[in-house]
Structure 1
């Protein structure tokens, strides 16, 4: 019995934000009905595959039921209304206006089920001049200013490795839905959530937005402490063309490392503002270039310094720490990452992801 046992979720979303949100609910015992078109969630076709299923699809849809409905047909609409009658949560990720045209907007759904929590996830929200603008994660990151600080040494933005606005929207939608369910316990009434990827991502720049939000200059990677302007929050190349990072703000770590390297004369530079530490950055670049990544990892083992080697994803999953925490599991048809949310005294085992229409 999970924390959300007894909660019924109707999920019409595809790809990343909505499926991630409802997967986290399914992990905690919610009964999630994934409503798919005859073509299925496009994530089903995304490589690579393991055990006959897309690893992407399985990772975000484990523990759900799948039902195929043509929502343009009378029979499909009737079946969805049957599911809605006793549902607690309704999630959709279409462009604004689509659900109204199909007859399943919040006004219609809440009229049938006043206690339902209805969550719409979109790129830019249900209203405003951008509401109908097509966009996936990269475009919303660009418009939110995040891509401008996801840049290389020459200042050119690069495609980010994490779909941050997708994930931010999934987490925001989950949090809002759980809040609404708690509120329903007191009022008996459901609620409507307009969750935008763009809106969800903006607060994630809290540590760098200062001047920009107050009308000043935007942050620049070369001069901002958290973006690469500081020697001890920096990526360095090693002798084998791999990389390591120093990742801390506290001056005690600078003291510890420079002492170990016999260069405490450079410590005053670490105390300077970001953007004025070029001499120290240059020294550390020369220093890290003298050993391989793995040699530096061994060297730092007994040093109290916020240091890490840069691992690829295969290396990351192979770490003993991942095994010790039980974060990579086998089951449900293949390999899966365990939930980040786990409760003391409760066990979790991976459920399989449904085949298309398995619960028609």
Structure 2
């Protein structure tokens, strides 16, 4: 019995944010019914494939049921209403206005089921100047300012490696839905969640964009301690063309490393403002070029410094730490990433992702 056993979720979302939200609920025992079109969630067709399913789709839709409904037909609408009347949560990821045109907007749905928690996930929210602007993750990051500091040493922004806006929305939406379910226990009434990827991402910038938040100028990566302006929060190239990072700016780490490198005279530079540590960055850049990445891993093994090698995903997934914490699980001929949320004393085992219309 999971923490959410007995909760019924209707999921009309595709791709990343909504499916992640509802899969995290399914992992905890919620009954999630994924409503799909005749062609299914586009993630079903995204390579690579394993055991007959997209790895992407499997890892965001396990434990759900699948039902194909044509929501433009009377029969499809009638079947969805039957599901809604028994549901606790309704999640949709259409552009604003679509659900109203289909006749399943929050006002209409809540009139039939006042206890339902209804979550709309969109790029920029249901209201505001950008509400109808089409966008996926990178475009939202661009509009929110984040892409401006996802840049290289020449200041040119690059395509982000992580879909931060998508994932922020999934986590924010999940938090809001769970809060609303707790509130319903007290009031007996459901609620509406307008979850925007844009809104969800903004709180992630408080540590870097403080000046802009308070009315000042925008941050520049080269002048930020967390974005490349500090010697001890920095990426360095090694002799074999690979890379390592120093990932902790605390002065104890600085003292430990610079003493080990016989350059305690450079310790004070790490206390200068970000953007003024060039001499130390140049010294460390030259130093790290003298050994291979793995040689540095061995060298740092007995030193208390916030250091890490930069691993590719194959190397990362092959680490003993992954196996020790059982973070990957083989099931049904495929691999799944274990839930990040697991409770003490409870055993979690994966379930399959549904074939299209398996429960129709």
After superposition, give the CA deviation of every residue in 1:287-339 in whole Å (9 maximum; x if it has no partner): 00000000000100010000000000111110011111100110144001100
Alpha-carbon shift at residue 206 of structure 1 (Å): 1.2
**In structure 2, distance between residues paired with 1:333 and 1:9:** 27
Alpha-carbon shift at residue 271 of structure 1 (Å): 1.1
Contact 2:256–2:305 (CA<8 Å) still a contact in 1? yes
Q: Please name the residue that 1:217 is paired with.
A: 217
After superposition, give the CA deviation of every residue in 1:72-123 in whole Å (9 maximum; x if it has no partner): 0001000100111110000000000000000000011101100000000000
Q: Please name the residue that 1:317 is paired with.
A: 317
**In structure 1, distance between residues paired with 2:264 and 2:217:** 34
Q: Please name the residue that 2:261 is paired with.
A: 261
Q: Please name the residue that 1:102 is paired with.
A: 102
**In structure 2, distance between residues paired with 1:305 and 1:312:** 22
5 Å-filtered alignment, 1:67-106, equals 67-106=67-106
Q: Please name the residue that 1:51 is paired with.
A: 51
Contact 1:332–1:353 (CA<8 Å) still a contact in 2? no
Partner SS for 1:226: coil
Partner SS for 1:222: helix
**In structure 2, distance between residues paired with 1:297 and 1:336:** 29
Contact 1:332–1:350 (CA<8 Å) still a contact in 2? no
Alpha-carbon shift at residue 217 of structure 1 (Å): 1.4
Q: Please name the residue that 2:126 is paired with.
A: 126
**In structure 1, distance between residues paired with 2:122 and 2:304:** 44
Partner SS for 2:276: coil
**In structure 2, distance between residues paired with 1:85 and 1:236:** 57
**In structure 2, distance between residues paired with 1:293 and 1:27:** 38
Partner SS for 1:133: coil
**In structure 2, distance between residues paired with 1:350 and 1:136:** 29
Q: Please name the residue that 1:143 is paired with.
A: 143
Alpha-carbon shift at residue 33 of structure 1 (Å): 0.2
Partner SS for 1:118: strand
5 Å-filtered alignment, 1:274-289, equals 274-289=274-289
TM-score by length of 1: 0.99
**In structure 1, distance between residues paired with 2:333 and 2:11:** 22
After superposition, give the CA deviation of every residue in 1:3-49 in whole Å (9 maximum; x if it has no partner): 00000000000000000000000000000000000010000000100
5 Å-filtered alignment, 1:287-306, equals 287-306=287-306
**In structure 2, distance between residues paired with 1:212 and 1:245:** 28
Partner SS for 1:6: coil
Partner SS for 1:10: strand
Q: Any runs of at least 4 consecutive aligned residues in structure 1 with deviations exceeding 3 A, and if so which?
A: none
Q: Residue 63 in 1 paired to residue 67 in 2?
A: no
Contact 1:244–1:310 (CA<8 Å) still a contact in 2? yes
**In structure 1, distance between residues paired with 2:227 and 2:332:** 40
Larger mean CA deviation between 125-134 and 166-175 belongs to: 125-134
Partner SS for 2:235: strand
Contact 1:8–1:88 (CA<8 Å) still a contact in 2? yes
- Alignment length, in residue pairs? 360
Note the aligned Cα RMSD (angstroms). Answer: 0.5
**In structure 1, distance between residues paired with 2:224 and 2:9:** 43
5 Å-filtered alignment, 1:88-237, equals 88-237=88-237
Alpha-carbon shift at residue 359 of structure 1 (Å): 0.2
